[in-house]
Amino acid sequence: MPAATGAVVDARNPVKMKIENASKVYHTRSGGVHALDNVSIDVREGEFLCLLGPSGCGKSTLLWSMAGLHGLTDGTIRLGDEPITNPHPEIAMIFQEANLLPWRNLERNIQLPFEIKRQAPDRARIEKLLRRVGLEGFENKYPRELSGGMQQRASIVRSLAVDPSVLLMDEPFGALDAFTRDEMNLLIQEIWMETGKTIIFITHSIAEAVFLADRIVVMSARPGRIANIIDVDLPRPRPVKLQTSPDFLERVEAIKAMIDHRPA
Ligand SMILES: Nc1ncnc2c1ncn2[C@@H]1O[C@H](COP(=O)(O)OP(=O)(O)O)[C@@H](O)[C@H]1O
Ligand SMILES: [Mg+2]
């Protein structure tokens, strides 16, 4: 587990996921779309890594490949020594939309991954997680009865219930209002510190990346390449008010300038 006051994850931690020379070309009727070009990243065990970049730079393409949801044109992605070409039980994905089934209540939505695996749901773990994210007592509610933030909390519980070691998050709080987003950022930081999961988190918000990340991988516009990798050595846990501190704002400005001044 990362130390409460620790900063950047120890670079001596073992590599959890290895992305090597990842390239992706989508073949469409109007020609090829070069979405990702020769991206290599070593994600360390227990690391909170943010992928930051403009819309269309290939962030989701990379994350979907890491989830084994689609293949690369070139390159490899490994979890430990295992090449990832299909969905893997150790790797969970959380999307911008909570993707809860509207005809199932919260409890039955959270049990869905167990049903797919033909396993009995881990009720004790689910109960603990529901309590952890403040959804205790909402088990019988349907998604339409819950706010966007609550739905996203439920989708976090659904992902963590099967105890994956890697959590891939694709702009998970992008559709939420600013207050809810702050709450969710605090919650995910806490859960990460408590569980030591490896998290790869996509955002196009520089401030969100600086708030959450141990390391930020800045991607350039299409074809998506790595423009920069930045360590964020701010102590944890990071409080919301950190976002108005001069040190924090300086870091945001520095990344913004780096992106603005990048050669076209
Ligand atoms: N299934 C697809 N078929 C064709 N092009 C796609 C497909 N998915 C994504 N793209 C294109 O690949 C590029 C990268 O997309 P994406 O990975 O979704 O970027 P991001 O998540 O950074 O916004 C974009 O130009 C997008 O239009
Ligand atoms: Mg995307």
Q: How confident is the model at residue 8 (pLDDT cuts 50, 70, 90)?
A: low
- Indicate whether 26 belongs to any domain: yes
Count Cα atoms within 13 angstroms, Cβ side, for 38: 1
> DSSP per residue over 161-173, as a string?
HT--SEEEEESTT
Indicate if ligand 1 lies below 6 Å from the C-beta of 179.
Answer: no
26: Cβ below 6 Å to ligand 1?
yes
Nearest-atom index, ligand 1, CA of 171: 21
The pLDDT tens digits for 107-164 are 999 999 999 989 999 999 999 999 999 999 999 999 999 999 999 999 999 999 999 9
Task: Please provide the distance, in angstroms rounded to a whole number, between the alpha carbons at the two ends of the chain.
Answer: 41
What value does the CA radius of gyration of the chain take, rounded to a whole number of Å?
A: 18
- The answer to whether 219 touches 57, Cβ cutoff 8 Å, is yes
Could you tell me the residue range of the domain that residue 252 belongs to?
15-90+164-260
Q: Is the pLDDT of residue 9 over 80?
A: no
Report which of residues 54 and 50 the model is more confident about.
50
Has residue 112 been placed in a domain? no
Mean pLDDT value across the chain: 93
Give the ligand whose atoms come closest to the C-alpha of residue 35: 1
Q: Is 220 in the pocket of ligand 1 (CB under 6 A)?
A: no
Q: What spacing in Å lies between the alpha carbon of 93 and ligand 2's midpoint?
A: 13
Would you say residue 110 lies in a domain?
no
Ligand 1 in reach of 33 Cβ (< 6 A):
yes
| Domain at 211, CATH number | 3.40.50.300
| In 47-195, alpha helices (H) | 59-66, 106-116, 123-132, 148-161, 178-195
Is 197 part of any domain?
yes
Residue 122 maps to a domain: no
Is 255 inside a domain boundary?
Answer: yes
Pairwise CA distance, residues 235 & 11, whole Å: 16
Edge-to-edge strand order for the sheet containing 48-52? 91-94, 166-170, 198-203, 48-52, 215-219, 226-231
Structural domain contains residue 29 = yes
Q: Are strands 15-28 and 31-44 parallel, antiparallel or unpaired?
A: antiparallel
Ligand nearest to the CA of 219: 1
pLDDT digits (tens, 9 = 90+) for 223-237: 899 999 999 999 999
Number of domains into which the chain is organized? 1
Instruction: Name which residue sits closest to atom 5 of ligand 1, judged by CA.
Output: 26
- For residue 204, give the ligand 1 atom closest to its CA: 22
Nearest alpha-carbon partner for 169 in 180, 160, 178: 160
